[in-house]
Amino acid sequence: MVPPQAEYLDDDDDDFDENLVEVQDVSIEFGTQHVLRNISLSIPRGQTVVLIGESGCGKSVLMKAIIGLIRPTYGSVFFDKQDISQLTEKEISRERKRFGFVFQNAALFDSMTVGQNVAFPLKQHAKYSPAQIEELVISRLAEVGLPKSVVVKKPAELSGGMRKRVGLARALMLNPELVVYDEPTTGLDPIMSDVINELILRTRRAYPVTSIVVTHDMHTAKKVADRVVMVYPISRLEEDEPQILYDGPPEGLDECRDRRVRQFVNGEAGERLMEMHIEESGS
Q: Is the pLDDT of residue 8 over 70?
A: no
* Helix, strand counts (H, E) of the chain: 9, 10
CATH topology of domain 14-252: Rossmann fold (3.40.50)
- Within 8 A by CB and 6+ apart from 194, the residues are 219, 223
Question: Confidence class of residue 272 from pLDDT cuts 50, 70 and 90?
Answer: low
SS3 of 22, please?
A: strand
Q: Which of 168, 159, 69, 67 is nearest to 117 (CA)?
A: 168
How many other C-beta atoms can be found within 10 angstroms of the C-beta atom of residue 259?
11
Give the pLDDT of residue 158.
92
Q: Does pTM surpass 0.75?
A: yes
Q: Quick one: pLDDT at residue 116? A: 94
Enumerate long-range contacts of 117-120, CB under 8 Å, 24 or more apart: 117/155, 117/166, 117/170, 118/166, 118/169, 118/170, 118/173, 119/173, 120/170, 120/173
Confidence of residue 276 (pLDDT cuts 50, 70, 90): low
- Indicate whether 236 pLDDT > 50: yes
Give residue 244's Cα distance to chain centre.
Answer: 17
Altogether, the residues listed in the chain come to a count of 283
pLDDT tens, 124-171? 777 788 899 999 999 999 999 999 999 999 999 999 889 999 999 999
Pairwise CA distance, residues 57 & 34, whole Å: 10
Residue 173 has pLDDT above 60, yes or no: yes
Per-residue pLDDT, 270 = 61
Given a cut of 80, whether residue 283 has pLDDT beyond it is: no
Please give the sequence-ordered ranges of beta strands (E in DSSP) within the chain, or none if there are none. Answer: 19-30, 33-44, 48-52, 74-79, 82-83, 99-102, 178-182, 210-214, 227-231, 244-248
Banded pLDDT at 104 (limits 50, 70, 90): confident
Q: Which amino acid is at 127?
A: K
Parallel, antiparallel, or unpaired: how do β-strands 178-182 and 33-44 relate?
A: unpaired
How large is the average pLDDT for residues 109-113?
93
Sequence-distant (6+) residues with CB within 8 A of 149 are none
- In three-state secondary structure terms, 18 is coil
Which has more confidence, 276 or 115? Answer: 115
Domain range list for the chain:
14-252, 257-283
How many alpha carbons lie under 13 Å from residue 178 in its C-beta half-sphere?
Answer: 24
Q: What pLDDT is attached to residue 209?
A: 93
- Give residue 240's pLDDT: 87
Average pLDDT, the chain: 87
Is the pLDDT at 66 greater than 90? The verdict is yes
pLDDT band at residue 273 using 50, 70 and 90 as cut-offs: low
**d(C-alpha 40, C-alpha 29), whole Å:** 16
For the segment 183-191, the average pLDDT, to the nearest whole number, is: 90
pLDDT band of residue 275 (cuts 50, 70, 90) is: low
